[in-house]
Amino acid sequence: MLKLLAARLCVLACGAVTLVAQPSRPNLQAELRAGLDRKLSAIVESLDGVVGYAALDLTTGEEIGRLERQEFPTASTIKLAVLYELFRQADEGRLALDTPAPLDRSFVVGGTGILRAMGTPSLTLRDHAVLMMALSDNTATNVLIERVGIPAVAARMRSLGLNGLRLRRKMMDSAAAARGDENVATPDDIVRLLGALHAGEGLEPESKAGALKILEVGAGGQIRRGVPSTVAVLNKPGDLEGVRVDAAIVRAEHRPYALAVMTTYLREEDEGERAITAVSRAFYEYYSRLGFGSEYGRQIRRP
């Protein structure tokens, strides 16, 4: 009896604690992400074709993707690699961006037709880069590819770990394409290249600013259509027979991200364009709410 009383007194003296189970709290951001996944699945299932995408959160580094490591035809999005290599070589002193040179007419091919209609203008490499990105001019692109070199682009992409991104021919080289020398990349490669441009990886500050300024003047594409007009979108769309692609840095407030959407085997090409816009809209709605949302999702404009 005395031993039992002593034990009770000891419990009281030591301040026995009763643990009360706390109610579990749902992960609200995980629920938001699940909603994104459902939207994306519905878009994919409704498309008569194949679609892959990758989105890179430029704040956290998190990536979301589907078929993100499968190679797709790049169409004109391959020009992002040419732009990056151009500025890397300028930083290395291997070329001068602002020295005018007469256009060699042997580079003239189909495309937007701007340089084709201009005769023999004297333009700088920077001018060609602007035409390549803003108007997707294929002649300007071929001038730059000849100047920087296909092997140099390949080596640079490998140095960045972008092993699936392969420039294998100049623009409008149908014979090379028929041989199977298609320009290809994975969605993951494209968003990581955009991430390198956004961060200025390997670039001097002036070159980073110059490359992004050129990218800013690009023509609108399907990703642009899925984002409010007040949000800056730096994108490069592309198209081939049965193929529609687009890639962009989207400067969503508080949550910028890079997005690449690649479609192929399309029954109707305009369906691919609509799918890219729908994917773009879904990602913008997701990242913008993360950007403005508190821990509990309240959408508060921050200073």
- The verdict on residue 152 lying in a domain is yes
What are the E-state strand segments in the chain?
50-57, 63-66, 72-73, 101-102, 122-123, 184-185, 233-240, 243-250, 257-264
The pLDDT, as a whole number, for residue 17 is: 44
In one-letter notation, the amino acid at residue 245 is: V
DSSP reduced 3-state for 97: coil
β-pairing verdict for 257-264 and 243-250: antiparallel
- The verdict on residue 12 lying in a domain is no
- The verdict on residue 283 lying in a domain is yes
- The verdict on residue 7 lying in a domain is no
The pLDDT, as a whole number, for residue 97 is: 96
Residue by residue, pLDDT tens for the chain (303 residues) are 445 445 554 544 554 444 444 444 458 889 999 999 999 999 999 999 999 999 999 999 999 999 999 999 999 999 999 999 999 999 999 999 999 988 888 788 876 667 877 877 889 999 999 999 999 999 999 999 999 999 999 999 999 999 999 999 988 877 777 787 899 999 999 999 999 999 999 999 999 999 999 999 876 799 999 999 999 999 999 999 999 999 999 999 999 999 999 999 999 999 999 999 999 999 999 999 998 877 777 777 765
Give residue 69's domain range: 27-292
pTM: 0.87
The pLDDT, as a whole number, for residue 19 is: 45
Number of domains in the chain: 1
- The verdict on residue 17 lying in a domain is no
**Residue bearing tokens 């602002």:** 98
CA distances from 202 to 85, 88, 90 (A): 10, 7, 12
The pLDDT, as a whole number, for residue 117 is: 76
- The verdict on residue 133 lying in a domain is yes
In one-letter notation, the amino acid at residue 123 is: L
- The verdict on residue 263 lying in a domain is yes
Q: How many alpha carbons fall within 13 Å on the CB side of residue 229?
A: 0
CATH number of the domain residue 272 falls in: 3.40.710.10
- The verdict on residue 13 lying in a domain is no
